[in-house]
Amino acid sequence: MKLTLRKFEARDIAELFRWFETERDVLQWAGANMSWPLKRSEMKALIRQHSGTAPAREVWAVNDSEAMVGHFQLGLNRRLRTAGLGRIAIDPALRGQGLGSTLMKHILAQAFSHAWVHRVDLMVYDHNHSAIAAYKRAGFTSEGTRRETTPISDEIWDTHMMSILRPEYEVFDKRT
């Protein structure tokens, strides 16, 4: 499957929202800053941030030749020279087919295409083993755990912090 990136648009919202059936799904994907049920207005506000010559956020759709198969966002901080990776999703019908590694190559290429980015970081819930494995395969390093950060129902989830630095990415990218 050949993947391409394009700016996520309002026309993509309905498809993306179909990928999440429960509050738990949304929380795992988006963290606590997205409402349940999902709201188009919140996604449109995020899309608006991906504009101008120096956006604060990039909101991407990942396409194969025919349809959107993935989604991710980058929060950009020029002052800190960081790109915060978040809200990564793969179409549920395509999960478990090895798409994560290919998707991560595209994500990191996009993040480090900004010459000023030195660090890409993310947070992932400790029970999301497939995502953690994909991040490690892409060269991310675990930095620590924020304990009991996110309550849902009768659970409280821990959050792992992970990152990759430009020199690590450049070495890792040459090997893959």
Q: State pLDDT tens for residues 64-103.
A: 988 999 999 999 999 999 999 999 999 999 998 889 999 9
Interhelix angle for 99-112 vs 129-137, to 10°?
60
Average pLDDT, the chain: 95
Determine the topology of domain 4-175 in CATH: Aminopeptidase (3.40.630)
Q: Map out the domains of the chain as residue ranges.
A: 4-175
pLDDT, residue 173, reads 73
Interhelix angle for 166-175 vs 99-112, to 10°?
130
Q: State pLDDT tens for residues 33-62.
A: 999 999 999 999 999 999 988 999 999 999
Q: Looking at the DSSP assignment, which residues form a beta bridge with residue 77?
A: 82
Residue 73 Rama label (left phi>0; alpha psi -120 to 50; beta): beta
Torsion of CA 84, 89, 90, 96, to 10 degrees: 90
103 CB-contact burial (10 Å; exposed 0-12 / middle 13-18 / buried 19+): buried
126 CB-contact burial (10 Å; exposed 0-12 / middle 13-18 / buried 19+): middle
Q: How far apart are CA 86 and CA 120, in angstroms?
A: 10
Q: How far apart are CA 140 and CA 120, in angstroms?
A: 9
